[in-house]
Structure 1
Amino acid sequence: MILYPAIDLKDGACVRLYKGEMDQATVFNDDPAAQARAFVEAGCEWLHLVDLNGAFAGAPVNAGAVEAILAATDVPAQLGGGIRDLATIETWLEKGLARVILGTVAVRDPELVREAARLFPGKVAVGIDARDGMVAVEGWAETTDITATDLARRFEDAGVAAIIYTDIDRDGAMQGPNIEATAALAHAVSIPVIASGGVSSLDDLRALKASGAPLDGAISGRALYDGRISVPEAMKVLAG
């Protein structure tokens, strides 16, 4: 399993939200590129980036910070938030992103996801953010009547590289991931699933490993910033 350190971008800074609430943001670093370098120097082999403002605006907002991160590091990075058309996807991939994450548009325009996955094989992931099992969109501001599993299954044959599954009520809350729901989703589809939301300790990572689900990796944010999890120890657990 891969450790994906989360760099969530709001107003140009590296922050963490509490349960997805934009007005409950804690700034951890006002230099996202420096934070990205620190993660890479600690051993991380991937970066998980989110343009929080972009998720609400429906278009990239923190592009400058993302470009600075790409210039400062040499490991693959994936980005979600405000990516909702082919032109934006192509632009980001040309700038050096390894993978774009499509969330809201996966609900609003699933055919665009299919086309993007066909045009850019291996470079398109779907972000599924759920509240009580139901998919939320528009920066988590709106909850739909679609279950996470139903949405994931719509892309089974699309060539999607990964699904990033986030339990919103666990995100930033340091309460542990929703292992049952994450494992169930990973067993329900053949697309690789990345666990996100609530990973707050090495025991959480061990529990994800022990779930028996074919998980690709886990995303962690706040726990890495406040020292509850060290990158080397986390990578050792996930590799073991």
Structure 2
Amino acid sequence: MMIIPAIELQNGRCVSLHRGRLDEPQIWHVDAVERAREFAAAGAEWLHVTDFDAVAHNTETNEALVLDIIRHAGIPVQLGGGMNSMEKISQWIDAGAGRVVIASAAVTNPDLVKRAAHAYPDQVVVAVDVFQGKVMSGGWKEQSAYEPDDFISWFKDDPLAGILVTDIDADIADSDASLAMITRLAEQSPSSVVARGTIRGLDDISRIKYVPGISGTIIGRALFDRSIALEEALAVANAARGTTAPFI
């Protein structure tokens, strides 16, 4: 199973959000490019970057920094934030992003996903943010009428790189039901699933690696607050699987 470290950007700084609140970021006083290089040196194969300013305001505040990360991280970058047009998607893939993540636009304009996926096979990831059983958009602010199973099925014939599933309930309430929901979606998804927001310790990695259909998990805050060391996370993820999950 792949461990994908995440760097989240706001106003040129590395941040983590509490319950998705853009106005209350936890700021990490680190150099984003240097941290990306450290993740690569530790053995990460991919890096996930989210531009929160592009999500919230559709601005290019972090464009130079994101380009710097793409050029100097040393590993491919999966980029999310503001991917709401073919022009924007093409811009970042042409700039060197290995994959782009389409989130809100996948809800409001699913045809964009289909066009992008066929223009850039295996380079488009659809983000499925789930709260109280419904897919959310607008940076977790707007609840759609779509259930995640039906939403994912829209793209069953499209050459996606994967589906990125976030259980917002888990982020807000530390729900133990998160893994069950992601397991069910992974069983039904025609594309490989990457889980986000479920890892707080090494035991969570031990547990999720046993779920069929989950190809990886994204870890952000736990790496920045040092709850988890990336080297240890990779060791657990890459260890041979026994008949049951070994808990740390």
TMscore range, shorter length: over 0.9
Cα distance, 1:177–1:197 mapped onto 2, change above 3 Å:
farther
User: 1:125 touches 1:163 (CA, 8 Å); kept in 2?
Assistant: yes
Query: What is the SS of the residue equivalent to 1:96?
Result: coil
- Deviation, 1:175, is 6.8
Q: Deviations over 1:84-118 (max 9, x none)?
A: 01111111011110000001111111111101100
Corresponding position of 2:40: 40
Corresponding position of 2:236: 237
User: 1:172 touches 1:221 (CA, 8 Å); kept in 2?
Assistant: no
Corresponding position of 1:194: 194
Corresponding position of 1:29: 29
Given residue 226 of structure 2, which amino acid in structure 1 is its aligned partner? G
User: 1:12 touches 1:62 (CA, 8 Å); kept in 2?
Assistant: yes
Cα distance, 1:178–1:138 mapped onto 2, change above 3 Å:
same
Give the alignment of 1:1-240 within 5 angstroms: 1-58=1-58, 60-171=60-171, 178-210=178-210, 212-240=211-239
* Matches of 1:5 and 1:145, distance apart in 2: 31
User: 1:7 touches 1:32 (CA, 8 Å); kept in 2?
Assistant: yes
Cα distance, 1:109–1:218 mapped onto 2, change above 3 Å:
same
* Matches of 1:38 and 1:172, distance apart in 2: 29
* Matches of 1:97 and 1:171, distance apart in 2: 27
TM-score, normalization: structure 2? Answer: 0.91
Q: Report how many residues are paired.
A: 239
Given residue 119 of structure 2, which amino acid in structure 1 is its aligned partner? L
* Matches of 2:172 and 2:52, distance apart in 1: 14
- Deviation, 1:163, is 0.5
Query: What is the SS of the residue equivalent to 2:24?
Result: strand
User: 1:19 touches 1:170 (CA, 8 Å); kept in 2?
Assistant: no
- Deviation, 1:31, is 2.2
CA RMSD of aligned residues (A): 1.7
- Deviation, 1:61, is 3.8
Q: Deviations over 1:159-201 (max 9, x none)?
A: 1110110112333877778111111110011210000013110
- Deviation, 1:77, is 0.8
- Deviation, 1:150, is 1.4
* Matches of 1:3 and 1:192, distance apart in 2: 14
TM-score, normalization: structure 1? Answer: 0.94
* Matches of 2:173 and 2:61, distance apart in 1: 25
* Matches of 1:225 and 1:71, distance apart in 2: 22
* Matches of 1:63 and 1:135, distance apart in 2: 28
- Deviation, 1:60, is 4.3
Return 5+ residue gaps in structure 2 as ranges. 240-248
Return 5+ residue gaps in structure 1 as ranges. none
Given residue 74 of structure 1, which amino acid in structure 2 is its aligned partner? G
User: 1:127 touches 1:163 (CA, 8 Å); kept in 2?
Assistant: yes
* Matches of 1:178 and 1:124, distance apart in 2: 24
Query: What is the SS of the residue equivalent to 2:140?
Result: coil
Segments of 4+ in structure 1 off by > 3 A? 58-61, 171-177
| More displaced 10-residue stretch of structure 1: 174-183 or 6-15 | 174-183
| More displaced 10-residue stretch of structure 1: 163-172 or 74-83 | 163-172
User: 1:177 touches 1:198 (CA, 8 Å); kept in 2?
Assistant: no
Given residue 221 of structure 1, which amino acid in structure 2 is its aligned partner? G
Query: What is the SS of the residue equivalent to 1:228?
Result: coil
Q: Deviations over 1:36-95 (max 9, x none)?
A: 112112221110110111112245442122111112212111011111011111110111
| More displaced 10-residue stretch of structure 1: 227-236 or 55-64 | 55-64
